[in-house]
Structure 1
């Protein structure tokens, strides 16, 4: 039995040694520029580990991330490589829980969550780790950073926005790779894709920025160098030290404005333009919850519901907006138009009330004047129904019913007339308004006024 246990221990030790050797070979290969060999050695180690990275001591785990990430990066797989390399910086922020598993293998669980999940019942000791390969990584990645950031800026200046966006994203990835994450370049990529009218890619990047909590807020620390008379920027710790130096003056701490509302606005606008209405509405609901005083988000939500054809949701959204701002003439007018689309007696009453409130706020508000005329009282679909009903009643010999229908149609014309006249006064060159007003005058027996308007209409049509 002891021999069996001893042989198992030897197998475990030899496996651990093999993995360590493969990873060290991968490091040598990638440092020597042989990326294919590096990835082959990494793959061999991974086949043995079967995802159990906790079997690697932190220094070897760092080498594993270094070799794999750098080989991917040098092979042109920048985003994939950066994701791996970024884990090196995380190692320095992580507590390791070290011990032995039930098979006597040494284990190194990264973080409390992994330890609780995989190390239940084991005796574990908490340890810290300081990565040592960051400096070497910076020496390799920084020249790439400089080259690609210059390419991104040149492409942007040349208005090659798709090209600029792709390069800005590479810069973002490289910064993560060296443990200096800064989503400013991802923000630049989003703007560039939007300028290129590449809605799909722009939406993806804007969503990632929003979901990550990016705000764009940065604090800059600067001071005037008395010897050179030049302003210099510092990190917070250096700034605090420089304050004590007699060589500097005019110390400034400046905080940039948040771009978070802009992110939501642009993302939702792109989604609406791309006809991704459900996604736009979800995004805008988050925006409204976060920035309840930004009326622009409510307007965009109305636009999304309107363009999606969801009139019930559109009506609810308009009512929500009016509850917050009852002095919004546009939303009162929009509510009137929605209610005019299905002319039950109750809807007609509500439409009249909505248009009246809009016009009480602005007596010459053209959208409300047009709405009450053409959507409510002179609605083409409703008028056709009346004419069809009138003709059917006449054919059936129901003269009283036919006369009642015509009388009801006349009442609609009479209600529309004062608003049509105001609309004509506000925009006397609108052909639709002039033509409709001439016909209404004729229907109401105002022949002289109808004749006068028809003369005006003839001149307008001739001048087109």
Structure 2
């Protein structure tokens, strides 16, 4: 019997025909409301192309998303189905990068990110695609959208914040799938997740909002009702109509106003969430992006510095603090933080002292700055004592005495800062004991006895 060999082109053509058939059947089943039939046909198609959806031409990608997403929505898996259906909108908005892969298969990448990731090195051309099925989704999804949107607001009013967040997110994807994308619902989801202490979920959604350049700016149309004297909110079409009517209109005092942008606030919240989750590198990335747009945002600057510090990036932390100080030279906290980090470097003790002094001058009630200044001036006292004992043991009495003289001088310089810290908190047993030791070392017997008595009193 003669063997028959099929060319790769014929095999590819037969596979293409098969998947077109399965997807067409899936669309038909979805339109008929046949949930099980839709799932079965979708599974058959997926068995052919696997996860390589980019092998489908845009019209087939649209049909696939339509059938699978609508099937899931009708099966009660609304969130999952809505997200898949929303990809139809992306098909219409994104640039399609088409060409052939290294195996000569036709490929269709949706958006530059996917093209860069999966089509690197390929010769691709840019094209646009206009979805044809999106118009069919509005009526089919409207009931679900209205139900879920109302449920979201009801849950929010009932303080079920996590539950509300999930519903707001589902409503967003349904609005996008229906061709009337309402990004404010996604923002409500992110905020509700944050308020419900669902940090991971909130950060995930805020990441989406930042990636899509959401600002939250909306135009509000208002006019004064001549009959009631109340100021009514109007949709744009109604607003334009009444305004055009002039004196014969039922309204007057027409106003168009822009709501404030939420973009800066989103960077603040997202970077803070990432810090709380100890995702310091991600917090750095978000804070840096935010500062490029809002360079005078002190909160983002402080978050960036703290993230550098937590991530162990000391040099970047110092540079960040100096940058913030240059923008706001009256910020005592930044000077204090700079003093703390510089004090850890033996070669930068003078700079650290200057930073602490500046912080104290700006905020005399900063007990932490005063306390850190005391220990900075004192230096490593255990090392000093060890050096003194070693010199005495070696019979180098003059050198040993010199070490003690320098120690007393340092302690005398530290005492005024310690006294100020004590005055802020007279119940601080550690500071009382420290002052007792400082006065003993500087041979001030009266003050030593005073703080010895205070120490005994606090221990009662």
TM above 0.5: yes
SS of 2:346's equivalent in the other structure is coil
Instruction: Give the aligned partner of residue 4 of structure 1.
Output: none
Instruction: Give the aligned partner of residue 335 of structure 1.
Output: 338
Distance 1:130-1:248 versus aligned 2 partners, 3 A rule: farther
Distance 1:48-1:329 versus aligned 2 partners, 3 A rule: closer
CA contact (8 A) 1:91 1:131 kept: no
CA contact (8 A) 1:78 1:173 kept: no
CA displacement, residues 382-418 of structure 1 (integer Å, 9 cap, x when unaligned): 1111112222323333323322222221111011122
Distance 1:267-1:231 versus aligned 2 partners, 3 A rule: same
Within 5 Å, which residues of 2 pair with 1:211-360?
211-224=211-224, 226=226, 233-245=233-245, 246-344=249-347, 347-360=348-361
- The Cα shift of 1:300 comes to 1.4
Distance 1:249-1:14 versus aligned 2 partners, 3 A rule: farther
Instruction: Give the aligned partner of residue 430 of structure 1.
Output: 428
In 2: Cα distance, 1:397 partner to 1:112 partner: 80
In 2: Cα distance, 1:90 partner to 1:336 partner: 50
Q: When the two structures are aligned, how many residues end up with a matched partner? A: 432
CA displacement, residues 7-49 of structure 1 (integer Å, 9 cap, x when unaligned): xxx9999999877765554334223321221233345456678
In 2: Cα distance, 1:204 partner to 1:138 partner: 27
Instruction: Give the aligned partner of residue 155 of structure 2.
Output: 155
SS of 1:214's equivalent in the other structure is coil
What 5-or-longer segments of structure 1 have no aligned partner? 1-9, 98-106, 121-125
- The Cα shift of 1:294 comes to 1.0
Instruction: Give the aligned partner of residue 139 of structure 1.
Output: 139
CA contact (8 A) 2:199 2:277 kept: yes
In 2: Cα distance, 1:110 partner to 1:445 partner: 81
Aligned Cα root-mean-square deviation (Å): 3.9
Within 5 Å, which residues of 2 pair with 1:12-411?
22-44=22-44, 52-54=55-57, 64-89=64-89, 131=132, 134=135, 136-224=136-224, 226=226, 233-245=233-245, 246-344=249-347, 347-363=348-364, 365-374=366-375, 376-379=376-379, 382-411=380-409
Instruction: Give the aligned partner of residue 103 of structure 1.
Output: none
CA contact (8 A) 2:165 2:192 kept: yes
Q: TM-score, normalised by structure 1?
A: 0.79
CA contact (8 A) 1:92 1:131 kept: no
Distance 1:131-1:222 versus aligned 2 partners, 3 A rule: farther
Residues 78-87 or 139-148, more deviating: 78-87
In 1: Cα distance, 2:288 partner to 2:281 partner: 11
CA displacement, residues 270-328 of structure 1 (integer Å, 9 cap, x when unaligned): 11111111111111111111111111111112222333444333222212222222332
CA contact (8 A) 1:89 1:131 kept: no
In 1: Cα distance, 2:337 partner to 2:23 partner: 67
